[in-house]
Structure 1
Amino acid sequence: MTAPNTRDPRALLRDCADHPSAFLAMNHGTHHHLGVRAPGVIAYRMRGRRAVQLGGPFAAPEHRGTLLDEFRDALPRPGRPLTVAQLRTDDVSLYEARGFTVNQFGSTYAIDLQCFTVRGKALAKIRQNTSRARREGVTVEEASADSATTVMLDAIDVAWLRDKGRHVKKLDFLVGERGGAGERYRRTFLARHHGKVVAYLTYSPAYGRRPGWLYDLTRRAPDAPVGTVELLNLTALLRFQDEGAPWLHLGLTPLAGLDPRHEPSSSSRVLNSAITTLAKRGQALYPARTQEAFKLKWAPHVIEPEYLAFEGGASVPSVWNLLRITRAV
């Protein structure tokens, strides 16, 4: 694969990235290292002089090592190890060869739209919930990007955050956003209940071997009827299917789908134990089981592990830095 002669991060993602969440690199506040010796882009955030990278190098396989080494050479040194979030299986060996510790962090889910059907036992819960929402008077439409829509969605954001509690923050970096440089490429579907907007979902382009769309942001008012989110996603899914999109990605769920068979040889036993404990007992910190259950209701055709990688080993400062950048704490 040969990338175009461009310094546009979005074009490089489109032509070089093989990661369902690569478009999150367009989020506000994310920096881009554009390859000099190899075509591609690396997305990252800085906190102080510490860097957290999103995904592996977004480049063709033969260029990933060169791009990663180039990026690491450009980081502040010494003593500022790199952390990587949402690393895919194909890139694990690349980081292990450079001394990184790699641990499974969760799983990502994808629906093959070429064979998806709402019929059958597997989708019974989806049919039940969407029918309930329709009976309650919920309707769904694709939103236009205008000022009136922005005001309505802002109101949903406020209601959603208020319902979560005053200490809850909006997660960042590893989830989608509204606005920013990628706004015109996203699609938004909103739900009305008797005319009032009560929820919305946004979708970003997905690139690579399974192109299509990424379900990347959900906001729901507390008074939205049961089944509203399922009706939103089903409406968007069927539209994407009609348009010929091959895949709908449901994105990463941290702490879900953990399996010892997915742990690389370089993994930290201490971090693995901590992640496993959080998955079992940390529902108050992150609702992994709820998120996983929602995604499994769609009978995804592909479930893949995603990883964290720590240069020089997993340390408390590196983990803390990741949590701060994603606003998990």
Structure 2
Amino acid sequence: MSMARETVTSRTTAYDTVLFALRACAENPSAFLALNSGNEYFTRPGTLGVVVFRRAGRHLIQFGGPFAAEPDRPELLGAFLEFARENRRKVAAVQLQRADADLYARSGFTVNQIGSSYALHLPEFTLKGSRFVKLRNKISRARRGGLEVCEAELGELSDEVGAVDREWLRAKGRHVKEIEFLIGELGGPAQAERRLFVGRVEGRVVAYISYVPAYGTRSGWLHDLSRRVPGGVPGLLEAVNVRALDTLRAEGAQWLHFGFTPFTGLSEEHEAATASALTGRFLRFLAAHGESVYPAAGQLAYKEKWGPDLVLPEYLAFHGRARASAVWQLLRVTKSV
């Protein structure tokens, strides 16, 4: 009997099973996004671990590496590849960490850096000093404009938060869709694990940021979904974040992760041994000209203004050679096109 037939895959894999695997094994700071609705899960009986993926055409688009104990990761990946072969599909994986990239390179994948993630070490963080003058000024302007920030429960504010989402999306233009898969969401069973901080002006919610747990050796929180109403005073999100940052640090949190930004921090020194030169050139082209595909510049500017202490490369992998069709399916899954 093949390994794949000893495994199960289901959209309805128990929420507690996936969450337990993430808490026990995940090193990827964005691992909590594995709990997004619409994801499917591949597991192997007797192994603590899960592979997270979505179907797109003739591809299985995997999120992160195998979330499993280190000795089980190669076997779980091999079982998932066998499952893909039996279903006549190819595997592409996105948001791999460096250790994942090495495993996938050894497993027959073409692996290229696709971007970077950014993190702030909270115990040493301070807004003092000349480097943060502009950030302090933006936060002060928001507060002078009447902004009040507090932590809240989504259930009490779902209509107001939804109104912020609609205004935010409308301002992006009629053809813009919300990115999926590589960013978080609100609601569902995972909401109990999230922290929501909102900013109000004259009682109206005008901005919010959702934070989700980050597991592993750099545990803490991930600055996940953030929205603000268009217009208004500058500094709304910055003021919300600094309030959350102070709260989480006071509770003993060590790291605030700002998450993955595609097409940023690309460097040949970070490339894996099996990198495709053509794919590398294409990704660097998107880094220079791809704002219509993904708004990386604005995201990077927001993250860098906080002076992150850590910048980590993240990777894209194709089983076998890199294929344009797999890139297209990844863009479709994330609703980037």
Give TM-score, length-normalised by structure 1: 0.94
Task: Give the equivalent residue in structure 1 for 2:299.
Answer: 291
Q: Report whether the alignment pairs 1:33 with 2:9.
A: no
User: Hey, what's the Cα distance between the residues in 1 that align with 2:212 and 2:78?
Assistant: 29
Task: Give the equivalent residue in structure 1 for 2:169.
Answer: 161
Q: Report whether the alignment pairs 1:107 with 2:111.
A: no
Structural mapping, 1:132-281, within 5 Å: 132-146=141-155, 148-281=156-289
Task: Give the equivalent residue in structure 2 for 1:314.
Answer: 322
Task: Give the equivalent residue in structure 2 for 1:95.
Answer: 104
Moved more, 125-134 or 153-162: 125-134
Task: Give the equivalent residue in structure 1 for 2:132.
Answer: 123
User: Hey, what's the Cα distance between the residues in 2 that align with 1:268 and 1:78?
Assistant: 26
Shift of residue 223, structure 1, vs aligned partner = 2.5
Asked if structure 2 preserves the Cα contact closer than 8 Å seen for 1:122 and 1:298, the reply is no
Asked if structure 1 preserves the Cα contact closer than 8 Å seen for 2:66 and 2:77, the reply is yes
Shift of residue 49, structure 1, vs aligned partner = 4.4
* Letter paired with 1:271: T
Shift of residue 79, structure 1, vs aligned partner = 4.5
Asked if structure 2 preserves the Cα contact closer than 8 Å seen for 1:37 and 1:66, the reply is no
Q: CA RMSD in A?
A: 1.5
Shift of residue 106, structure 1, vs aligned partner = 0.5
User: Hey, what's the Cα distance between the residues in 2 that align with 1:31 and 1:79?
Assistant: 17
* Letter paired with 1:119: K
Shift of residue 127, structure 1, vs aligned partner = 1.0
Shift of residue 133, structure 1, vs aligned partner = 0.7
Change (3 A) 1:17 1:35: farther
User: Hey, what's the Cα distance between the residues in 1 that align with 2:245 and 2:276?
Assistant: 38
User: Hey, what's the Cα distance between the residues in 1 that align with 2:309 and 2:221?
Assistant: 15
* Letter paired with 1:34: T
Shift of residue 7, structure 1, vs aligned partner = 6.5
Structural mapping, 1:50-89, within 5 Å: 50-77=59-86, 79-89=88-98
- SS of 1:123's partner is helix
Shift of residue 285, structure 1, vs aligned partner = 2.7
Give TM-score, length-normalised by structure 2: 0.92
User: Hey, what's the Cα distance between the residues in 1 that align with 2:314 and 2:270?
Assistant: 9
Q: Report whether the alignment pairs 1:42 with 2:51.
A: yes
1:82-110: CA deviations, max 9, x gaps?
00000000111211111100011110001
User: Hey, what's the Cα distance between the residues in 1 that align with 2:45 and 2:91?
Assistant: 20
**Runs of 4+ residues deviating >4 angstroms:** none
Asked if structure 2 preserves the Cα contact closer than 8 Å seen for 1:7 and 1:34, the reply is no
Shift of residue 72, structure 1, vs aligned partner = 1.7
* Letter paired with 1:16: C
Shift of residue 156, structure 1, vs aligned partner = 0.6
Shift of residue 165, structure 1, vs aligned partner = 0.8
* Letter paired with 1:81: K
User: Hey, what's the Cα distance between the residues in 2 that align with 1:37 and 1:144?
Assistant: 37
Asked if structure 1 preserves the Cα contact closer than 8 Å seen for 2:58 and 2:88, the reply is no
Asked if structure 2 preserves the Cα contact closer than 8 Å seen for 1:37 and 1:67, the reply is no
Shift of residue 271, structure 1, vs aligned partner = 1.2
User: Hey, what's the Cα distance between the residues in 2 that align with 1:28 and 1:150?
Assistant: 18
Task: Give the equivalent residue in structure 2 for 1:3.
Answer: none
User: Hey, what's the Cα distance between the residues in 2 that align with 1:288 and 1:197?
Assistant: 26
* Letter paired with 1:172: E
| Structure 1 segments unaligned to the other structure (5+ residues) | 1-5
Asked if structure 2 preserves the Cα contact closer than 8 Å seen for 1:33 and 1:42, the reply is yes
- SS of 1:75's partner is helix
Asked if structure 2 preserves the Cα contact closer than 8 Å seen for 1:171 and 1:328, the reply is yes
Moved more, 198-207 or 186-195: 186-195
Asked if structure 1 preserves the Cα contact closer than 8 Å seen for 2:58 and 2:90, the reply is no
Asked if structure 2 preserves the Cα contact closer than 8 Å seen for 1:40 and 1:58, the reply is yes
How many residue pairs get matched?
323
- SS of 2:42's partner is strand
- SS of 1:182's partner is helix
User: Hey, what's the Cα distance between the residues in 2 that align with 1:29 and 1:281?
Assistant: 30
1:117-151: CA deviations, max 9, x gaps?
121233222211111111111111111132x4000
